[in-house]
Structure formats: C-alpha cells, structure tokens
Structure 1
C-alpha cells in the first residue's frame, strides 16, 4: 500500500522496479520501436506523477500496467486519426511479400519447434532468454530484474543459445 508522503520518491522507486517491464510491454505491442516505447513509458510515469498523491494505490503493479494499457490505447487512437487525415494513394504496384501458405506453415512449424526447445530449458534460463530476446531487456537489466549476477545471465544465455543451435543443426534451416 502506498502512502501520500514521498510521492515522487515512490514514483522513482516504481520506475526502477517496473520500468523495464513497462518498456517491454510497449516494445512487444509496437513491434520493437524503442523510441516510441521510451516515450510511452515516460508518459505512464508522468501520469502517475500528476495523479493526486493523497490517494492510496493498493496494487501498484496492476495500476501501472492498467495505466500503460490506457496510454497505449490513446497512442493508437491518435495514430488512427493521423492516418485518416494523411491518406496517401496506394501505388499501382504493391510489393509481393512472399507470404505463401506454404511459407506461413513452415514459419509456424519453426516457431513451434523453438517454443518446444525453450520449454526444455530450466525456468531461470528460459526467463533470462525471454526477457533478453523477447522483452528487449539488456543483460544488465535482466540481471537486476531477476536479482541475479550478470555472469549468471551470460551463462544462461549461452546455455539457451547452445540448445537452439543444436535444434537448428538437428532439423536444418528449413
């Protein structure tokens, strides 16, 4: 439970504690646009800072991520309005992306093999891999977030990469 005293100190503590996860939340939803994710993360904590400090937040993590979802929704709405007003005609020739049904099925199969390989890892190694590669956290951020040493993060990533390389060699680069 958060008390009104030291509101800016509390916000600073939350930035340290939840900032990397909030940034990862935005990165996943914005297809890895780091500049946008940083701006939106800053907006989340700015909204919290502007909030009245005399009210109590019982569950800060839930409150912060609900605020992040609201910030993302507002951002996406603004983008839709901009796109409507800045309409450009489509070019006559649209580039072929090559997404044939066969290619889509092969991609799904590769993804399923990757997920199965990740499931074979121990919990900590899998968490390190996911935070680093999917949530775009730096190794030092992963170490701080999980409360482990940087060396442990490096060794866990090496273990995970070894498993994935073995999987690639086993099934080939199909």
Structure 2
C-alpha cells in the first residue's frame, strides 16, 4: 500500500471513529449544532490539508479537540471583531459608508491585523493600535493607558518587531 493510500485510509478511519464525538464535544462548548458541525468539518479539513498526518496518534480525541478548540477561539475572535467593526460603521454618516465590498475587504484586513498581533498582551496591542491607527503620540498613549512613556515605547517596539518578523521573517 502506498504512503498516500495509507494516509487516506488513516484519515478516513479517524473521521469515521471520531467525527460524531467531535460534533457533540464542540456543540457542548459553542452555540448550536449547526455551528458544531461546521467547526468539526473545518477541523477535519485542517487535518486533510496537512502535508503529513501522524500515523499513530496516542490520543486522537485530544488532538482533534485542541484543533477544534483553536478554531472555535478564532471564530469567536472574528465575531467580536466583526461586531465592533459594524458598531463603528453605524456611527459613520450614510453618505460616507463604504460599499459592501469595501466593508468586506476592511473586515478581512482587520482580521489579518488581529492575527498578526495575536500573542501580544492586550495592553501592547492597544498601545500599538492607538499610536498607529488613532495617530496618538506615545505620550498621549501613555496618559490614556496610565503607564509610563518607556512602557509605551517597549509595547510598540514589541508590536513593530512582530510586524517586521511577519513581513520579512526571522533575521539573524
């Protein structure tokens, strides 16, 4: 049996043995059965798109639960981001409202920025966004966040390093 056929058979077996359990597991932790089915499907798609699938998983349910949990967190973050974006748009005069296509593009861009800054502490992310998006000076950011100017400089430097690394990769 070829490696590809073996991997496909392993995936099929994993799907058959654990799909129903995974849907129930997700449904208990998220909003609704339909959403659970979608997240379970996304979990298995993520596995299917892996270059190599581990042959012998010691605890496949833990592995699946971890992937599904991460996808659920990503989904919740996207929903919060979208909700906040739509709330901001509600304050924009109707004549200045972006088209639906522009709104969709902007939401995608906001998701990319959120992913890029994922892993920073909330205060670091907030300081960076206040300086870069709101155009506040470092001193103004420090005053609003009630932290020292040197802290703001460190927060923004860390966020800038993350952006640089994401764009250009690790530098020696």
TM-score tier after normalising by the smaller chain length:
0.3 to 0.5
TM-score after normalising by structure 1: 0.43
TM-score after normalising by structure 2: 0.44
Name the structure, 1 or 2, with higher relative contact order (CA <8 Å, separation 6+): 1
